[in-house]
Amino acid sequence: MSAPIIKLENVWKTYQLGKTEVNALKGLSLEIPEGAFVAIMGSSGSGKSTLLNMVGCLDSPTKGKVFLKDIDISSMPESQLSQFRGKVLGFVFQEFNLFPNLNAQQNVMLPMVFQGTPMEERKKRAEELLDMVGLKDRIAHQPSELSGGERQRVALARAFANDPEVIIADEPTGNLDSITGEKIMAFLTKLHEEEGKTLVVVTHDAKIAAYAERIVYIKDGQIVDTIY
């Protein structure tokens, strides 16, 4: 078994709603080995989105520790964390989160700007990535000129912009029809297998989770089962 690239140790996340405290995560521990394909499943309100934020280093725990590549990021300053996160992690969201006034190439180039990649290198890599997802001929199209499946493929290309070690996908097929969704999952699986990327997919859909090597079930802020 590979060493964990992401590790959560006794993580609690508590939100204050008025005078009420809500524990979204309750002492949760999880290890994701390097090169693994893990699906996180749970119903609405189970805590899976909060868990995604912890795994993706997008939020810090109320209690407990989060390690990314053996570095405790729980108390890392946001400026330092965002740079580190940008190098190691790539994100794919259900809503695509593309900038409507940028074309496909410009959207893919964006994460490289924050890593200080030179302009010519950004352009070349964006072209290569869009070619890789089968959108070479749509490079100058804006999101409004693309179908849902094409937009999600632009989002996938963008997730790989900085050649991250981990791809985190939040309901990546949630806004797509079943056939397009299957194509997206087949593509992600291929990248995992061929490039050895660590893949974490958060979903409520058992068909999507079935692509993973390991399924982690979460309920009421705790892991209730893990299937290999």
The predicted-structure confidence for 167-208, as pLDDT tens digits, reads as follows 999 988 888 888 888 888 988 898 889 888 999 999 988 999
Tell me the whole-structure pTM to 2 decimals.
Answer: 0.88
Structural domains in the chain, sorted by start: 4-227 (3.40.50.300)
Q: Quick one: 20 exposed, middle or buried, by C-beta within 10 A (0-12, 13-18, 19+)? A: exposed
- Could you read off the pLDDT of 15-54 as tens digits, one per residue? 998 999 999 999 999 999 999 999 999 988 899 989 999 9
Q: What does the pLDDT look like over 95-105, one tens digit per residue?
A: 888 999 999 99
Map 60-113 to HEC letters. Answer: CCCEEEEEECCEECCCCCHHHHHHHHHHHEEEEECCCCCCCCCCHHHHHHHHHH
